[in-house]
Amino acid sequence: MITSFSKQTNRGFTIFLMVVATHFISLLGSSVARFGLGVWAYQSTGQVSSFAVVLVAGFLPAIVLSPFIGIWIDRKGPRLLILLGDIIGLIISSIIFSSLLLGNISMVHVIAGAISLSIVSSMQTPALQTLAPNLVPKEMLSRANGVFSMASSTSDVLGPVIGGVIMGFGSIVYIIGAELVTYCIAIPILLILWTKLTVKVNNDNEDSHENNSILGDLKYGFNYLIEHKSLLTLVLLFTVLNFALGFNQVVGQPYILSFGTVEQFGLLSSIYGGGMVLGGVLMSFIKLKKHIIWLVLISNFGIGVFITLTGLFNNMLLIAVFWGGLGLLLPVVNTGTLTLIQLHTEPKLLGRVFSIARTFAWISLPLAYILGGILADKLVASNVNIIPYLGSGERGVYGTLLLLAGGLIIVTVAIFAQLKYIKELDRREENDVQHNV
């Protein structure tokens, strides 16, 4: 019996690895295309606003669609959305590719491409996060989430690199062509695995009078989060921290360029990306069993410290260490947070909970980008010297904003660590472990 269970456990994990490997192929294509579309928008118009429009087009569809996609997952299961995401990406990419070949490419096509990438991501990411606990046993969930985090991190790192090489030797035609190839590879593999991805859908919701209504299902998902205070607290923590990280992203690049070179920034970005990949690899080998919430909090605290230290120093060697550590800790936070949501959410509501959490996270990023950009421009224009140690000018302003972002993370972690609902997550983990034993 033990041997049979072990084989079944390994089989589920193996199937999930195959799905993630397939998803990595399409993720890589999307990352390459996202880079190419942004570069084309800026180079063709010479306006930063055009690049910003492409960025916004990549956010808004996911924010709007995510809650409804969660309802679909809970009603119909996740596997069809994974396949539909690749099919939609293939169709829209084919249209853009045809327009490129005919020489009719415009900003409309680029924006449509950014929107399609956002739609594909909003469909596939929560679907895969929901699929994991249905294929993988609880004791291996953290490893499965680590693999997923590693795939996402690696595609984010390799995408711009591959895109830059392709743009250097060709044009955006080759970028979209490469994306098409990835979809053509991913779809047949998913079809081969199709029967192994069947998930039993539980439709006997407690709100039986509303379960035929999309808005009723959505309301039920929000009510579930509100009623489960520990889960809601985790989502709110993730949202605040995501805002601070978005602030760091929009200020980090100009901060480095205020006293360094483009080549140095590129090297730091590579170190940061390498840290993310390494963190994902480590989490794919580690089984998180107890005190997951404290690992998430401590890692977030470390991220806040690294961002703060980056704002205090202008030594590239030290900043390389800080950015490497920052990249290393992010997959730990993501893996731990995913695992906690999976462990403490009823299976029939996983799709909605993941999508609602994703919506909150994605809303916080554009707000951070806009607020960070406006605040930075205003302070630089006024030539204010907020912290004498950092000096005035761009370096002083950007460094101060990094201190603000890092400090926000540190304070947020310190406050949330005292909340009883966060501590309940830890007690429930221990109960789950004892129950499993």
What does the alpha-carbon distance between residue 28 and residue 31 come to, in Å, rounded to a whole number? 5
Is the separation of the CB atoms in 397 and 251 below 8 Å? no
Which range of 140-154, 162-176, 236-250, 420-434 scores highest in mean pLDDT? It is 236-250
| Chain position carrying tokens 């595609």 | 155
How many angstroms separate the CA atoms of 19 and 245, rounded? Answer: 29
pLDDT over 90 at 298, yes or no: yes
Between 363 and 434, name the one with better pLDDT.
363
Domain at 1-194, CATH class: mainly alpha
| Number of neighbours of residue 129 by Cβ within 10 angstroms | 24
Distances (CA, A) of 343 to 137, 141, 347: 11, 9, 9
Residues counted in the chain: 437
The reported pLDDT for the residue numbered 248 is 86
**Residue pair 285/236 in contact by the 8 Å Cβ criterion:** no
Q: Which tokens belong to 326?
A: 């920052």
Averaging pLDDT over each range in 37-51, 110-124, 242-256, 287-301, which range is the top one? Answer: 287-301
Boundaries of every domain in the chain? 1-194, 214-437
* Topology agreement, domain 1-194 and domain 214-437: yes
Of 323 and 15, the structure prediction assigns the larger pLDDT to 323
Question: Using CA atoms, how far apart are residues 45 and 383, in angstroms rounded to an integer?
Answer: 30
- In terms of pLDDT, which residue wins out, 305 or 159? 305
Close Cβ partners of 246 (under 8 Å, ≥ 6 residues apart): 364, 365, 366, 367, 368, 369, 372
Gap between the Cα atoms of 242 and 122, Å rounded: 17
Q: Exposed (0-12), middle (13-18) or buried (19+): which is 329, by Cβ within 10 Å?
A: buried
Per-residue pLDDT of 206-241, as tens digits, reads: 444 445 677 788 888 888 888 888 899 998 998 999
- Cβ neighbour number for residue 188 with a 10 Å cutoff: 10
pLDDT at residue number 435: 37
In the block, residue with structure tokens 């480590």: 282
Class of domain 214-437: mainly alpha
The amino acid present at 219, given as its one-letter code, is K
pLDDT tier at 322, thresholds 50, 70, 90: very high
SS3 341: helix
pLDDT band at 2 (very low <50, low <70, confident <90, very high): very low
- AA identity, residue 136: V
Select from 183, 170, 149 the least CA-distant residue to 28. Answer: 183
pLDDT tens digits for 357-371?
888 877 887 788 778
Residue 49 burial (C-beta neighbours within 10 Å; 0-12, 13-18, 19+): exposed
The rounded mean pLDDT for the chain is 80
